Amino acid sequence: MSPLREMVVAEIAAHGPLTFAKFMALALYHPALGYYSRGAGIGRDFHTSPELHPLFGALLARQVIDCWEKLDRPATFTVVELGGGTGSLAASLITELRHLSPAAATALRYRIVETSAALRARQRVRLAGLGVHWGGLPRVVEGVVLANEFFDALPVHLVTVRDGHLRERYVTVEADALRLVDGPPSTPLLAAYFRRVGVTLPEGYQTEVNLAATRAIRRIGRSLRRGWVITIDYGYPAAQRYHPERAAGTLTCYHGGTFNYDPLAWVGEQDLTAHVDFTALSRWGADVGLQPVGLVLQREFLRNLGLDAYLHALGARPLDLATWEWNREAITQLAAPGGLGRFLVLGQVKGGVPFALEGFTGEARGRLLRERDRLRVPLLGGGYSEPGANE
Ligand SMILES: C[S@@+](CC[C@H](N)C(=O)[O-])C[C@H]1O[C@@H](n2cnc3c(N)ncnc32)[C@H](O)[C@@H]1O
């Protein structure tokens, strides 16, 4: 029995069944034994876009520079990254931003908000010399808040519908095993959530409600004075997220490089994640002045920022076959229609700044294709394919 499972069993014996959100918070974020707090599995059990290929961060650097320019190139400009993971996004984004725009790099204040002490330590080593700061969400942000696979990692409540009534699913112990049981909702916010996103769940439906995401987006919106929130994650607008075809919910567990649907197994040793409801981010964000500026597929977002131009550039360089294939395959996966390319990117804006960002409009796409011979392509393993290498 894992030590965290023992702790969960003791907690249930002392205080009764736990909401699934409370269980998930312990499983992922118990300060010593939670999956993210230990930090061991991330980058091993699953791979996020920035870990797959540094071009993801490099393209986001282009988006960040666009934001800085649209704020009229302020002398200081903050990027807040929520949930820094292994530090791969910050590493590739800052490196490329320094290369593309030394002036934006001088203005940049890059802050990571990371709950896991182990991951913060790992990030500090990986990002040494890149000028990154760590801390909570600043009281006032002028710039960009980035959330890549952040909201899907927040603890969710599990709910179901029985005899026409919304019920909540709790974690309890029966015959020494962890089990899910139904009970009355622990909070009226669960029913209110479905009213607000305009969804009525059919009988027997089981799904997740991410109340932590509604709280987080409101906190972010209150902090943001001028700028944008860019959220990249798997999920859907509410009508699709809670569509009858997803009647068993979206909760997925990652352990040892494979996925499963048993969230009560390997307590603290597997990742638990649920699809994001983008309608909720948009509605609760609107409460604090965040206006949606676009919702596009990651595939479109990255292509708008020049992914095709970089692929062309890569194809034209005299790399050895293995390097070429390895990089081409990873970059293609970032935009794969059946994989990461299906993720959604939500832009939200506040403070009277321009709506149109290059990632959503595609205004830079043609120019970057024309300039492809001059692009420096980041490669797996840390190197670059420099322009002119084939001349
Ligand atoms: C799925 S990982 C994504 C990591 C990274 N953004 C990436 O794309 O590789 C989720 C990250 O969010 C962090 N996290 C979760 N809840 C958090 C919170 N409330 N505040 C700050 N970080 C949090 C986790 O520790 C982890 O680093």
- pLDDT digits 0-9 by tens, 301-322: 999 999 999 999 999 988 899 9
pLDDT of residue 46: 75
Report, as an integer, the average pLDDT of 76-95.
97
C-alpha distances out from residue 122 to 54, 119, 383, Å: 18, 5, 21
Q: How far apart are CA 230 and CA 57, in angstroms?
A: 13
- pLDDT digits 0-9 by tens, 2-21: 899 999 999 999 999 999 99
CATH for the stretch 49-155+210-234+275-381: 3.40.50.12710
368 lines ligand 1 (CB under 6 A): no
pLDDT at 194 over 90: yes
pLDDT at 212 over 50: yes
Among 34-43, 226-235, 336-345, which stretch is predicted with the lowest mean pLDDT? Answer: 34-43
Q: Average pLDDT, whole number, for the chain?
A: 95
Q: How far apart are CA 188 and CA 195, in angstroms?
A: 11
C-beta neighbour count of 244 within 10 angstroms? 8
Give 43's pLDDT tier (boundaries 50, 70, 90).
Answer: confident
What distance in angstroms lies between residue 153's CA and the mean position of ligand 1's atoms? 7
C-beta neighbour count of 167 within 10 angstroms? 18
- pLDDT digits 0-9 by tens, 135-172: 999 999 999 999 999 999 999 999 999 999 999 999 99
CB 81 within 8 A of CB 97: no
What distance in angstroms lies between residue 386's CA and the mean position of ligand 1's atoms? 33
Question: Strand, coil or helix: what is 33?
Answer: coil
Q: How far apart are CA 25 and CA 346, in angstroms?
A: 25
What distance in angstroms lies between residue 390's CA and the mean position of ligand 1's atoms? 40
What distance in angstroms lies between residue 372's CA and the mean position of ligand 1's atoms? 33
Report, as an integer, the average pLDDT of 76-100.
97
Name the CA radius of gyration of the chain, rounded: 22
pLDDT of residue 391: 43
The backbone torsions φ and ψ at residue 199, rounded to the nearest 5 degrees and listed phi first, read -120, 135
Task: Tell me the helix, strand and coil percentages in the chain, rounded to 5.
Answer: 40, 25, 35
Partners of 145 in the β-ladder: 80, 229
- pLDDT digits 0-9 by tens, 235-281: 999 999 999 999 999 999 999 888 999 999 999 999 999 999 999 99
116 lines ligand 1 (CB under 6 A): yes
What the block records as the tokens of 14 is: 């002392």
pLDDT at 374 over 60: yes
What distance in angstroms lies between residue 29's CA and the mean position of ligand 1's atoms? 10
Q: According to the 3-state scheme, what is the secondary structure of 214-278?
A: HHHHHHHHHHEEEEEEEEEECEECHHHHCCHHHCCCCCEEEECCEEECCCCCCCCCCEEECCEEH
Report, as an integer, the average pLDDT of 181-200.
98
- Write down the residue that tokens 């309890």 correspond to: 172
51 lines ligand 1 (CB under 6 A): yes
Instruction: Identify the residue whose C-alpha is closest to ligand 1 atom 20.
Output: 115
pLDDT of residue 389: 52
- Write down the residue that tokens 């305009």 correspond to: 198
pLDDT of residue 145: 98
Q: Which atom of ligand 1 is nearest to the CA of 154?
A: 16
